[in-house]
Amino acid sequence: MSHEPRRAGRHFLQIPGPTPVPERILAAMSRQILDHRGLEFQRLGKRVLSGIKGIFKTQGQVFIFPSSGTGAWESALCNTLSPGDKVLMCETGQFAVLWAVMANRLGLDPEVIPTDWRIGADADLIEKRLREDKSHSIKAVCVVHNETSTGCRTRIDDVRKAMDSAKHPALLMVDTISSLACTDIRHDEWAIDVTISGSQKGMMLPPGLSFAAVSAKALEASKTSKLAKSYFAWDDMTANNASGFFPYTPATGLLYGLAESIDMINDEGLENVFARHERLAEATRRAVIGWGLEIQCRDPKYYSPAVTTVIMPEGHNADAYRKIVLDNFNMSLGTGLNKIAGKAFRIGHLGDTNELTVMGALTGVEMGFDLAGVPHKKGGVAAAMAYLAETAANPLKVAAE
Ligand SMILES: *Cc1c(COP(=O)(O)O)cnc(C)c1O
């Protein structure tokens, strides 16, 4: 067995998920296994099943699966749709690509609206396509809220308006895997039919849980949907969840963590959590602009509060650069995915993150540029610092005379 020398201090995990798990959650999960058919579990089951609703801003049902986020994608499609159904998707980046691949594999007929991977989904284009679909052959519109590969956030309220003004009855499915507990999601108010998420990003938990908040319309569709489903079937879940239980062994340790995560988010205040993400994202973007580099998201309307994707200067490989940062400063930055592989890297600023974590990360990024010989202007870190100081929550109060 080979031994890496010990590296002092903590590893900076600055990828856009999984994200570092706070001590409070680690401690909450450090418990003996319990009987998942017993009373103590029932209390935990009821607590998380009801608590998670507040995070999605829904009064309705939220399913919790022992799976990664990809499982909740599958549950959304296979519980509501039938073989051959057309689904309208927007290729905002790699996660949208993967969801469309899944739709294809499940026997659906995805129609994809392309983008240049530098904006979110365009609500006007969705509206235009839905208006053309006079026969209502499109059964669902699927959008990724925060496209984690590009750092572009889609305006879900605009997508809802587009669907309403086209008077189209398609279901609306939204992937909020990297936006839940980072930015506002109003499952009920925006009349989303299935809101999909996962544990390891804004929720600050280890990977292993996925969520699907469902509307009455989605539950109704599940009664006639003909795609095959078993493990992810909603009917067994609904029946068992009614009393706080699950149809199979739930991930009990993660559910202890989830209860703690929900408490932590509520203690801070959901709206404060969103404001914190916006502010740290803005500091990060100011750093990138200060370095004279380009942000992958080309329209501020779509800027992500969770992740910033940075385009490398021509002739410099992003993965070689990331390795230099890891080897020298013990920090993991996100890799460029699919068509921006090697051309871009990602700075995650979501989950249990504060001013100094972000400043530590940005300092590592700037020092890495020096070591890797990546051309950049000085002053990115300084610009982020200035912004965080200007917007500090507790500035020195000068007593009025
Ligand atoms: C991480 C992520 C996924 C994939 O989730 P897994 O938990 O890895 O299955 C899907 N969509 C988005 C937007 C993501 O950020």
Tell the residue nearest (CA) to atom 2 of ligand 1: 177
> Any idea which residue has 């086209």 for tokens?
166
Q: Is 198 in the pocket of ligand 1 (CB under 6 A)?
A: yes
Would you give the distance in Å from CA 163 to the centre of its chain? 23
Rounded alpha-carbon distances, angstroms, from residue 259 to 20, 29, 51, 179? 17, 10, 7, 19
Torsion of CA 203, 205, 210, 216, to 10 degrees: -40
**What residue ranges do the domains of the chain occupy?**
12-19+269-400, 23-266
CATH no. for 23-266: 3.40.640.10
Closest ligand 1 atom number to CA of residue 198 = 7
Give pLDDT, residue 2: 64
Give pLDDT, residue 400: 57
Beta bridge partners of 175: 144, 196
Q: Does the domain formed by 12-19+269-400 have CATH 3.40.50.720?
A: no
Q: Is 206 in the pocket of ligand 1 (CB under 6 A)?
A: no
Give pLDDT, residue 393: 87
Give pLDDT, residue 399: 63
Give pLDDT, residue 332: 98
Helix pair 318-329, 355-372: axis angle to 10 deg: 110
Beta bridge partners of 142: 89, 173
Closest ligand 1 atom number to CA of residue 148 = 15
Q: Which two tokens stand for residue 345?
A: 């890297």
pLDDT in tens, 284-319: 999 999 999 999 999 999 999 999 999 999 999 999
Phi-psi region at 136: left, alpha or beta (left = phi > 0; alpha = psi -120 to 50): left
Tell the residue nearest (CA) to atom 5 of ligand 1: 69
> How far is it, in rounded angstroms, from Cα 174 to Cα 248?
26
> Any idea which residue has 């100094």 for tokens?
356
Tell the residue nearest (CA) to atom 6 of ligand 1: 69
pTM of the model: 0.97
Helix (H, G, I), strand (E, B) or coil at 210: strand
> How far is it, in rounded angstroms, from Cα 292 to Cα 118?
18
> How far is it, in rounded angstroms, from Cα 309 to Cα 296?
5
Q: Which residues of the chain have pLDDT under 70?
A: 1-2, 398-401
Q: What one-character DSSP code corresponds to residue 338?
A: G
* Ligand 1 centroid to residue 177 C-alpha, Å: 6
* Ligand 1 centroid to residue 299 C-alpha, Å: 23
**SS3 string of 71-117?**
HHHHHHHHHHCCCCCEEEEEECCHHHHHHHHHHHHCCCEEEEEECCC
> Any idea which residue has 């700037």 for tokens?
366
Helix (H, G, I), strand (E, B) or coil at 214: strand
> How far is it, in rounded angstroms, from Cα 218 to Cα 202?
25
Q: Which two tokens stand for residue 26?
A: 């680690």
Instruction: Give the total residue count for the chain.
Output: 401
> How far is it, in rounded angstroms, from Cα 321 to Cα 328?
11
* Ligand 1 centroid to residue 387 C-alpha, Å: 30
> Any idea which residue has 């997508």 for tokens?
159
Rounded alpha-carbon distances, angstroms, from residue 54 to 265, 333, 387? 10, 31, 31
Give pLDDT, residue 39: 98
Q: Is 344 in the pocket of ligand 1 (CB under 6 A)?
A: no
Torsion of CA 162, 163, 166, 167, to 10 degrees: -140
* Ligand 1 centroid to residue 276 C-alpha, Å: 22
Give pLDDT, residue 87: 98
